[in-house]
Amino acid sequence: MSGRARPDARRDLSRALADKRILVVGGAGGVGKTTTAAALGLQAALTGRRVLVCTIDPARRLATSLGLEQLTGKPRRLDLHRLAPDAAGEMWAMMLDTQRTFDALVERYTADEAARDRILGNRFYRHVSTALAGSHEYMAMEKLLDLHGDPRFDLVILDTPPTRHALDFLEAPDRLMGFLDTSVLRWVLKPYFVAGRLTLKVATRTGALALGLADRFLGLQFLQDLSEFFLAFEGMYDGFKERAARVHALLRSEACGFVVVASPSRLALEQAVYFHRRLEESGLPFVGFVANRVHPEPEAGGERRAARIDEELAEALGGVYRDQQRLARHDQRALARLQADTGEPVLGVPEMEADVHDLRGLLEVAEAMLGQAPVPARRRRRTAGAARSR
Amino acid sequence: MVIDDLLQRRLVVLSGKGGVGKSLVGTALARVARDRGKRVLLIEVDTPRDSEAARYLGAPPVGPEVTEVESGLWAVNLDPRGVMDEYVRETVKVDFLARKILENPVYHRFFAAAPGLPELMVMGKVMMLEQEKEGWGRRPRFDLVILDAPATGHGLAFLKVPLAASQAVPVGPVGANARRILHLLRDAHRTALVLVAIPEEMAVVEAAEFERLAREEIGVEARALVLNACHERRFAPAEEAQVLRLIADDADGRLPGGVPLRGALQAARRQLRRAKLTRYYQNWLRKRLPLPSISLPYVFDEDIGPAAVDALAARLAAA
């Protein structure tokens, strides 16, 4: 991609919205990922696609930006009628329920009811299955496979959880698989389960030492729960692995694309550069950067002297002008640097003057991102008053 | 005063949605405490690069070693994995055995995904640093420890881990340690949970949700709220009316000093809207999250550094 003569983020994004089957939206926390995902979804729906926007963020952000009171684990269709009476496509939204997805996965891969109940009833599983590092991400990937095959949708947009390190999201599934890979852990834990009492007859001295330590610090009960959990998972590992391989292939296929959201802040940009590099290294198809909250450069206007304005007011006006100009220039430089560092197109989205918390707001974001949506433009005034009326 | 109350604690935990400026607020808070003669430690956890605080203060990079960045102000960027390795080394004591464990693939895999283990390790380390003693008098090494906790989604998990661990591991030193951490978090005399937000819907909603969950699920009461990046009134009401009239008249030309009026009016309109939104969320928070609160101004500096820290610290000190 980086070999292209003139990068055009808007064109690339519009194409992705028309052609792709899956878009994964990633980036640092607080840059407006969810809003971007939802706005992209809305745009695609207005141009005729049947879109599902899926968020995994435990804080119910998509719900807020869609004005929905709550999102359940099931896709819910949004009413676009008032916004666009003749919208060609459909927009659906859902929030991932990690626990339910995990349970469903267990049900799918256990041989019989007894085996299923053994896992679902295991204390370790109940306490920590959703707390395992990477389980949100893993289940999102698992769900993605499901949704990708769902005939109701022809585009799935996945909003990712905020991660401190962008690569968490990409590596989490592997990490969880590594954890569940019983062949290694069983080696340490099986003696507990089999003997039901403290025994240090393990293959190596290191193993014995690790076991001894674990017992000292975690207690026998915990280790028993843990080993039961792993033994119960034994038969499922191959099934899990097979699904994971399919997700792996799907994410690297032409049907999928990654959009990285950033803002002009230093931290968000550093993470965007990093995320981009990780995508390239992992062979994942990158679509483009979206940089939100870009301060627009104030207009220059005419040269002649303005009508007389009170001195104090003129001073206050000069102050806000200079502040905005400083931010605008900073932002422009920041975006240019991102483009130069990565050789990829960056789409700057001006900072909205008000919060986005309904479909109309999302439409404005979509328009700011991709140009006029195919909806009769009505004059929309969005001020702080809109927020107050809620 | 809010700030005095906070500075009387031994541990301040800052929590908020990503992007609200927790690290900057933490740095400014540390500066205020230091200026009042306290020995302050600012803890960041697993920041993607080096300590943010050190950068804001214009100091050389700070990694996982506790480092004095300014006189009386220490910073550290804890890496959970490093903390865990250190713990193993201290527990095993025998060098080559510790090395064997640290090199063992089982250890690696387990640590990579074990639920809550990194969080528990880090919280344990925070508690250890809070309780560290020095000198003949065995006085605490730090008077105040400020924990810049991970963003809210993660942050709640972070605070929840000691509780979950004390339930899942009812016996043994790990469980006991978890209970001690929980006790520290719940001890309002020693610890203050401070929420950080900005005047935007998602940030304030998350702050309110976090406050409720921390109270109901962990038994930790938030003590204060810092509303960062507030747009303050810069036009008196009469001036505001005049600005709106000029916008309606599509006024153009140059102001004395050469500032283009049209651009200035655009900037003014944005500013008025943002300021209005700030007041709206300040009111919202007063009703929905009635905690002692501090508003900090939006920083317009291009590169946020020592000057911004000074400005915010001055505001905090007066709060």
Reported confidence tier of residue B167, pLDDT bands at 50, 70, 90: confident
Distance from CA of B117 to the nearest CA of A (A): 9
pLDDT tops 60 at residue A374: no
Q: Which residues of B touch A357 (CB under 8 A)?
A: 201
- Contact at CB, B262 and A355, closer than 8 angstroms: no
pLDDT in tens, B154-163: 567 778 888 8
For chain B, state the CA radius of gyration: 23
Distance from CA of B11 to the nearest CA of A (A): 23
pLDDT tops 90 at residue A286: yes
Closest CA to A162 of B95, B155, B111: B155
Domain assignment present for B103: yes
Indicate the number of domains in chain B: 1
Domain assignment present for B278: no
What six digits make up the tokens of B296? 């900090």
**Alpha-carbon distance values, A173 to A102, A132, A296 (Å):** 13, 11, 40
CATH of the domain at B305: 3.40.50.300
What number is the average pLDDT over the span B50-54? 83
Q: What is the pLDDT of residue B274?
A: 92
Min mean pLDDT across A130-144, A224-238, B39-53 is at A224-238
Average pLDDT across chain A, whole number: 78
Contacts of A227 (CB under 8 A, 6+ apart): A186, A189, A190, A192, A193
List the single residue in B97, B153, B302 with the smallest CB-CB distance to A161.
Answer: B153
Beta strand residue intervals within chain A, DSSP E = 22-27, 50-55, 76-77, 90-95, 155-159, 256-262, 286-294, 346-350
pLDDT in tens, A55-75: 866 445 556 656 555 656 788
**A313, closest residue in chain B (CA to CA):** B239
Residues spanned by the domain of B81: 2-232+293-317
- Rounded Cα distance between A135 and A139, Å, is 6
ipTM computed for the complex: 0.86
**A302, closest residue in chain B (CA to CA):** B253
The helix (run of H) or strand (run of E) holding residue A121 is none
pLDDT tops 60 at residue A114: yes
DSSP state of A234: G
pTM value? 0.84
Tokens 């422009």 correspond to what residue? Answer: A332
Q: Which residues of A touch B167 (CB under 8 A)?
A: 127
Min mean pLDDT across B39-43, B107-111, B245-249, B271-275 is at B107-111
- Contact at CB, A213 and B101, closer than 8 angstroms: yes
Angle between helices B152-168 and B117-131 (to 10 degrees): 90
Q: What is the pLDDT of residue A199?
A: 43
- Rounded Cα distance between A276 and A7, Å, is 15
What six digits make up the tokens of B283? 């009111």
Phi and psi torsions of B49, nearest 5°: -120, -135
Instruction: Say if residues A192 and A219 touch (Cβ distance below 8 Å).
Output: no
Domain assignment present for B63: yes
**Alpha-carbon distance values, A139 to A235, A284, B119 (Å):** 19, 19, 21
pLDDT in tens, A78-111: 888 888 888 889 999 888 887 888 888 888 888 7
- Rounded Cα distance between A264 and A272, Å, is 10
Task: Please report the residues numbered 249 through 308 in chain A whose beta carbons come closer than 8 angstroms to any beta carbon of chain B.
Answer: 263, 265-268, 270-271, 274, 296-307
Domain assignment present for B286: no
Q: Which residues of A touch B269 (CB under 8 A)?
A: 353
Domain assignment present for B258: no
Domain assignment present for B284: no
Q: What is the pLDDT of residue A6?
A: 55
List the single residue in A29, A178, A307 with the smallest CB-CB distance to B18.
Answer: A29
Distance from CA of A333 to the nearest CA of B (A): 11
Average pLDDT across chain B, whole number: 90
Domain assignment present for B241: no
Task: Please report the residues numbered 115 through 144 in chain B whose beta carbons come closer than 8 angstroms to any beta carbon of chain A.
Answer: 115-116, 118
Domain assignment present for B277: no
Reported confidence tier of residue A198, pLDDT bands at 50, 70, 90: very low
pLDDT in tens, A299-345: 888 888 878 888 999 999 999 999 999 999 999 999 999 999 999 98
Q: What is the pLDDT of residue B278?
A: 96
Distance from CA of B135 to the nearest CA of A (A): 31
